[in-house]
């Protein structure tokens, strides 16, 4: 029951073969069994989840149930949930209980989904390994000596280990796709503005985007049907018509043109990862797709541009956490400046402090033009690379990360090596296009993710392409052996 897809579970619930109460309890039992070793959840909402499951069973019996009624999911702990602790995995917000609901969580609740709890993450979504959490690091269920990726590592692990049917994540520079790759699940970063950011605690406002994480493209399509759409509460929300993301999943891929950027297959890419990606691409050729070599010449500039823009926006967004209205406040401050200084020093981790300082420096007088403005110009060049490439091909494919999951602690003292893990994902966020990671094989006994990138608002096409691949392969059905892993 814990490894069935959403379509199958919805059918069983409607046919009264199982109840939502039984299904929810089985996931809560799995969380109780595995979370102590994997640390995927920060908050588990057992009582409210079971109460919601009972309501879902009543709605199903009455014929008034939403499309996701009775399906147990979890949310990354930066989506505000009314009356339920939302921490951003930070000491700064360790006791924060929002008085309102994010649009994403509200829409999923309206669709009938059951919230099991809030998942662990890198603090304020800053990290690529889920080692930067006030509540402890998260472990990869395939090998608990390795990281799960970040910042949505807790969400990825919850799906991979069978502790949720699906989860929500956010992607600022690869934070859905990279953990999806490392944990062997499917994750979609929609076009910037496709999914509302209202109620998401911001890291970098021009880059953050919410999206679904699940075992399959079909399951992600179910969640996209619930969360996509214009939101007047979000000034960055795109007023573009949505569609039923399940409708075109079975379209054949005959005539599809896939672009392979030469920059994605150069120095730094592990041979095992490269082999898995090329084997996956050959599978698409069997399905009728054509392959074309392309170039994204400014890819190498994505890391320096990102690590100026994102910290700059973070320094602005996180200035509100000062110990005055909410969040951590130091004990017995001597004066206002002492309260500001000590509250922020105590509330933010070293990684968050580092990014705030970098961003503040880049925005300071005398450096704005040299750093922030130049980074924005580079961002425009990166976007134009994608526009040019997508005029020649239907989609772009390549690896999600240059390696599989790496050892816990192996890169914490080398920030450059850690940042290089995002070399293939950052440019997508800078351009604002949609992209997803799907399981495409193994290297060193660890999952490898294939990245599929498309033009603006073509999420349905990406899901169709991913679904067709998953109809002819079984990588997305592989699950970790938790008897050994945890």
Tell me which residues are annotated as active site. Answer: 76, 151, 175
Take residue 335 and report the two structure tokens written for it. 């004066």
Q: Which residues contact 164 (CB under 8 A, 6 or more apart)?
A: 27, 72, 73, 74, 116, 158
* 170 φ/ψ angles, rounded to the nearest 5 degrees: -130, 155
By three-state DSSP, how is residue 352 classified? helix
Cα–Cα distance, 265 to 15 (Å, whole number): 48
**Whole-angstrom Cα Rg for the chain:** 21
Give the alpha-carbon dihedral of 225, 285, 265, 393, to 10 degrees.
-60
H or E segment to which residue 170 belongs: strand 166-170
Cα–Cα distance, 230 to 191 (Å, whole number): 12
By three-state DSSP, how is residue 54 classified? helix
- Residue 76 Cα distances to 23, 102, 118, 155, 169, angstroms: 21, 12, 5, 6, 5
Buried b (16+ CB within 10 A) or exposed e, 44-56: bbeeebbebbebb
Do 72 and 6 meet the contact criterion of CB atoms below 8 Å apart?
A: no
């Amino acid at each position: 029951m814990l490894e069935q897809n959403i379509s199958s579970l919805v059918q069983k619930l409607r046919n009264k073969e199982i109840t939502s109460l039984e299904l929810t309890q089985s996931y809560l039992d799995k969380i109780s069994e595995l979370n102590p070793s994997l640390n995927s959840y920060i908050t588990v909402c057992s009582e409210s989840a079971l109460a919601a499951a009972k309501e879902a069973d009543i709605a199903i019996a009455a014929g008034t149930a939403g499309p996701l009624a009775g399906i147990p999911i979890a949310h990354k702990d930066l989506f505000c949930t009314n009356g339920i602790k939302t921490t951003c995995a930070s000491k700064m917000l360790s006791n924060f209980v929002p008085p309102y609901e994010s649009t994403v969580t509200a829409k999923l609740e309206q669709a009938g989904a059951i919230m099991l709890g809030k998942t662990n993450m890198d603090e304020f979504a800053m990290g690529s390994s889920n080692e930067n959490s006030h509540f402890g690091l998260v472990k990869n269920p395939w090998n608990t000596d390795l990281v799960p990726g970040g910042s949505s590592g807790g969400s990825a692990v919850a799906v991979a280990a069978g502790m949720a049917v699906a989860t929500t994540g956010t992607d600022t520079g690869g934070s859905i796709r990279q953990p999806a790759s490392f944990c062997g699940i499917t994750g979609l970063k929609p076009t910037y503005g496709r999914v509302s950011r209202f109620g998401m605690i911001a890291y970098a406002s021009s880059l953050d985007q919410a999206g679904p994480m699940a075992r399959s493209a079909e399951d992600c399509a179910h969640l996209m049907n619930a969360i996509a759409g214009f939101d007047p509460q979000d000034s960055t929300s795109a007023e573009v018509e949505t569609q039923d993301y399940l409708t075109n999943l079975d379209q054949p891929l005959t005539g599809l043109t896939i672009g392979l950027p030469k920059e994605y297959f150069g120095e730094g890419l592990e041979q095992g990862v490269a082999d898995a990606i090329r084997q996956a691409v050959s599978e698409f050729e069997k399905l009728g797709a054509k392959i074309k070599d392309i170039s994204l010449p400014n890819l190498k500039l994505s890391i320096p541009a990102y690590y100026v823009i994102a910290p700059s926006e973070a320094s602005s967004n996180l200035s509100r956490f000062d110990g005055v209205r909410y969040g951590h406040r130091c004990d017995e401050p001597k004066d206002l400046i002492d309260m500001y200084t000590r509250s922020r020093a105590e509330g933010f981790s070293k990684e968050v402090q580092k990014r705030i300082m970098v961003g503040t420096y880049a925005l300071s007088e005398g450096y704005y033009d040299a750093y922030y403005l130049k980074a924005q110009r580079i961002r425009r060049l990166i976007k134009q690379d994608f526009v040019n490439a997508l005029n020649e091909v239907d989609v772009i494919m390549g690896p999600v990360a240059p390696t599989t999951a790496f050892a816990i602690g192996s890169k914490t003292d080398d920030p450059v090596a850690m940042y290089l893990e995002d070399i293939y994902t950052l440019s997508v966020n800078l351009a604002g296009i949609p992209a997803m990671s799907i399981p495409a094989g193994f290297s060193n006994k660890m999952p490898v993710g294939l990245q599929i990138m498309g033009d603006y608002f073509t999420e349905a096409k990406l899901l169709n392409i991913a679904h067709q691949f998953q109809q002819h392969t079984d990588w997305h059905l592989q699950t970790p052996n938790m008897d050994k892993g945890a």
